[in-house]
Structure 1
């Protein structure tokens, strides 16, 4: 049986120093394994790593067919504890240079949500879901 868990998310970086600096400016803590060639940030549930996209494509055995101007068909999410945290989080992301794609607004499903893109157009949602349940580390375990 395959373990039902996600432990590491890796973003292929076109410009690793710029992308790394963006996540550092959000105040995210890096692990001791980070270097100029590879950056790893701690989050509540998984590690987020940044790796040069050419090296990632080579490692996966695929041809690189995207550019930094293209949105990827994946969205990451930062779920917060209170609805007003969506707004304050988006303001901090804006101050750090994130591109706000959708301003905070109430969602049809009863929560609050907003979207931003990092410097390489990786999509992120900031959301508050009134049904979310987090463990003691802050990892979402249900919604």
Structure 2
């Protein structure tokens, strides 16, 4: 049986110092296991790791595109507890110089959503879902 959980997300970084600085500018704290070779950030329930993309591809046994402008086929999400947090989170992200891809707007499914890209075009959604349930750590446990 495969455990039904996500414990670590790793972004293959084209430029680790730039990507690390971006996430630090968001106010995110690194864990004590970070090093010059990689960064690990604590989030509510999942660790976010930044690792050189060539090394990540090598570790996975695959080739990778050398273009950080290509769509990676993955979108990360930050779900928030209050509808107005979508707007305030996007404003905080905007101040870091991130590229806002979609301004906050009401979603057809009843929530509110917005999108931004980090310096290597990893896509992030900021979303409020009216039926989302969070635990005391801020981890979304149901929706």
Query: Which TM-score band applies after superposition, normalised by the shorter structure?
Result: over 0.9
Q: Distance in 2 between matches of 1:132 and 1:91?
A: 22
- 2:4 is the alignment partner of 1:4: yes
User: Which residue does 1:54 correspond to in 2?
Assistant: 54
Q: Distance in 2 between matches of 1:66 and 1:100?
A: 23
Give CA deviations for 1:13-39 in whole Å, capped at 9, x if unaligned: 000000000000000011001111100
Match of 2:97 in 1: 97
CA distance in 2, matches of 1:64, 1:110: 37
Is 1:137–2:137 an aligned residue pair? Answer: yes
> What is residue 15 of structure 2 aligned with on the other side?
15
Mind listing any 5+ residue stretches in structure 2 that lack a counterpart?
A: none
Number of the residue aligned with 1:119: 119
- Aligned partner of 1:32 in structure 2 is 32
Measured after TM superposition, the shift of residue 136 of structure 1 is: 1.2
Q: Distance in 1 between matches of 2:5 and 2:66?
A: 28
- Partners of 1:52 and 1:72 lie apart in 2 by 15
Deviation at 1:72, TM superposition (A): 1.0
Q: Give the Cα separation in 2 of the matches to 1:66 and 1:99.
A: 20
Q: What CA distance in whole angstroms lies between the structure 1 residues aligned with 2:66 and 2:139?
A: 31
How far has the Cα of 1:66 moved from its partner?
Answer: 4.6
The runs of 4+ residues in structure 1 deviating greater than 4 Å are none
Structure-2-length-normalised TM-score:
0.98
RMSD of aligned alpha carbons: 0.8
CA distance in structure 2 between the partners assigned to 1:2 and 1:94 by the alignment: 38
